[in-house]
Amino acid sequence: MGDCLRIEGGRRLSGVVAVEGAKNAALPACVAALLTDEPLSLHRVPQLRDVSTILFTLSDLGKRVVRHGASVVLSSDRPLAAEANAYSVRQMRASFLVLGPLVARLGRAAVPLPGGCAIGERSVGLHLDGLRALGGRVSERGNVVFVEADRLRGASIELPFPSVGATEQILMTAALAAGDTELRNGAIEPEVLDLVGLLEAMGATIEREDRTYRIAGRTELHGADYAVIPDRMEAGTYLLAGAITGGDVTVAGIDAEALRPALDALEALGVSIRSEEDRIAASGKGNRPIRVETAPHPGFPTDLHPPLAALLAVVPGTSVISETVFEHRHTYVDGLRRMGAGIAVDGPRVVITGVERLSGAAVVAPDIRAGAALVLAGLAARGETQVSGLETIDRGYAGLEAKLARLGAAIERREG
């Protein structure tokens, strides 16, 4: 049996919590090191299991990885390998991003089909369609994708859906393709734009107009020194943790605009939001139901859907969250029901009827954000909650229990 979090609910959270670097920005930033032999120095890299997985993947491919706290230096240790480690790629979906950069550098790559959170099909088909458009010859044998190319060439590509992963894959690959690439209907999440900033610091030429990217291919890129953006999902989770306890929590190190859709939802609930420079504070629990629809940025982020659902479970009235990004995002529902939440799933919609108080229970975190939702529910519940499956939560939140404890939560990790 693994570790679990023991939570004694009912304590009002208050105080200030610092935001780490964004996991979803750090992972592609690390992969970008494959595009050059020169050292790439990255800062504000969070201490997360997913980051360790991507660094192991890159080390296995031939990169030298040196980490000092929140800084990582990736440099050339030996010639790059063309085949990614099956175990690490199957642990985390972001590892699939190594495919395009390897083809751009070596003319070939073999990468297993990815794993990660089971929150929907999240097909890699858009990644492969983009690589085909750039001149890659794609084949599959077993559970491994093979791509070969004599020379990648710029292309005109339009995504049917603004996929974050496919956009990042195409941006990195096109940066080393011959000629110009135009990518239409690309993702514009802050983490994607942060990758663009890094690629530009490495010598890439990328222009953007709304969801259209124009990339001028280069024969080579160089090293850079770069700090990734703060984690808006972590920030949003702690603000929601404060709200579910009726507390007053401030997140430090992030601008309010990065969280605008989530802050708008909290204000619609009746939570008081205050922001200045790089600090955002939320106080009160909210007392009115809302309707929210997740969507690609600048819409409400799907990663904050489960933590928001935990809050809505104790808000009077009937609220609705419509999920338009991941069809299996509702993995938190059984756990919240076990704690007494009134939740019904109707296709992509989750209908939540608030109850006065949740009750502590033993629950399992099925994925990163569902795990966060169950922890938040435990903070507000009557009695003791035990959340197991912490290996999933540790993929996305660094020191979660320590930060919540500093805010006043009665929470501890117990070794199983």
Mark whether 4 is an active-site residue: no
SS3 state at 398: coil
- Quote the CA–CA distance of 194 and 217 in Å, as a whole number: 19
DSSP calls for 252-286:
ES--GGGGHHHHHHHHHHT-EEEEETTEEEEES--
3-state percent helix, strand, coil for the chain, nearest multiple of 5: 35, 30, 35
- Quote the CA–CA distance of 77 and 308 in Å, as a whole number: 44
Whole-number pLDDT of residue 124: 86
**Which of these is catalytic: 111, 117, 145, 372?**
117
Domain 23-227 has CATH 3.65.10.10: yes
Interior CA angle at 132 toward 131 and 133, to 5°?
90
Token pair in block for residue 183: 């990518």
Whole-number pLDDT of residue 23: 96
Instruction: Please state, in angstroms and as integers, the Cα–Cα distance from residue 316 to each residue in 194, 287, 291, 304, 330, following that order.
Output: 38, 6, 13, 20, 21
The 3-state secondary structure of 28-91 reads HHHHHHHHCCCCEEEECCCCCHHHHHHHHHHHHHCEEEEEECCEEEEEECCCCCCECCHHHHHH
Query: 214: left (phi > 0), else alpha (psi -120 to 50), else beta?
Result: beta
Average pLDDT, the chain: 94
User: What are the φ/ψ torsions at residue 248 (nearest 5 degrees)?
Assistant: -145, 95
In the sheet where 291-293 sits, what is the strand order?
Answer: 291-293, 318-322, 349-353, 342-346
> Rounded to the nearest 10 degrees, how much is the dihedral formed by the CA atoms of 23, 25, 26, 28?
120
Q: How confident is the model at residue 115 (pLDDT cuts 50, 70, 90)?
A: low
pLDDT digits (tens, 9 = 90+) for 194-233: 999 999 999 999 999 999 999 999 999 999 999 999 999 9
Percentage of residues in the chain with pLDDT exceeding 90? 89
- Quote the CA–CA distance of 53 and 360 in Å, as a whole number: 33
Residue 117 has pLDDT above 60, yes or no: no
Top pLDDT among 327 and 330 is at 330
- Quote the CA–CA distance of 322 and 330 in Å, as a whole number: 10
Q: Where in the chain is the domain with CATH 3.65.10.10?
A: 4-20+230-414, 23-227
Whole-number pLDDT of residue 16: 98
Q: How confident is the model at residue 118 (pLDDT cuts 50, 70, 90)?
A: very low
By C-alpha distance, which of 227, 220, 301 is closest to 265? 301
- Quote the CA–CA distance of 168 and 342 in Å, as a whole number: 38
| Residue 245 near residue 13, CB atoms below 8 Å | yes
By C-alpha distance, which of 287, 376, 262 is closest to 13? 376
Q: How confident is the model at residue 120 (pLDDT cuts 50, 70, 90)?
A: very low
- Tell me how crowded residue 159 is: count the other CB atoms within 10 A of its CB: 18
- Quote the CA–CA distance of 365 and 327 in Å, as a whole number: 18
Average pLDDT of the residues in 284-311: 96
Name the least confident of 99-103, 140-144, 308-312: 140-144
Instruction: Please state, in angstroms and as integers, the Cα–Cα distance from residue 88 to each residue in 26, 62, 172, following that order.
Output: 16, 14, 21
Average pLDDT of the residues in 354-363: 97
Q: How confident is the model at residue 40 (pLDDT cuts 50, 70, 90)?
A: very high
- Quote the CA–CA distance of 40 and 202 in Å, as a whole number: 9
Token pair in block for residue 203: 């010598």
Token pair in block for residue 211: 């969801």
Whole-number pLDDT of residue 114: 77
DSSP calls for 197-239:
HHHHHTT-EEEEETTEEEEE--S----EEEEPPB-HHHHHHHH
Average pLDDT of the residues in 389-412: 96
Residue 131 has pLDDT above 50, yes or no: yes
Give the CATH superfamily of 4-20+230-414.
Enolpyruvate transferase domain (3.65.10.10)
| Residue 150 near residue 107, CB atoms below 8 Å | yes
Instruction: Please state, in angstroms and as integers, the Cα–Cα distance from residue 231 to each residue in 14, 141, 172, 256, following that order.
Output: 20, 37, 22, 12
By C-alpha distance, which of 45, 49, 114, 94 is closest to 74? 45
Top pLDDT among 317 and 285 is at 317
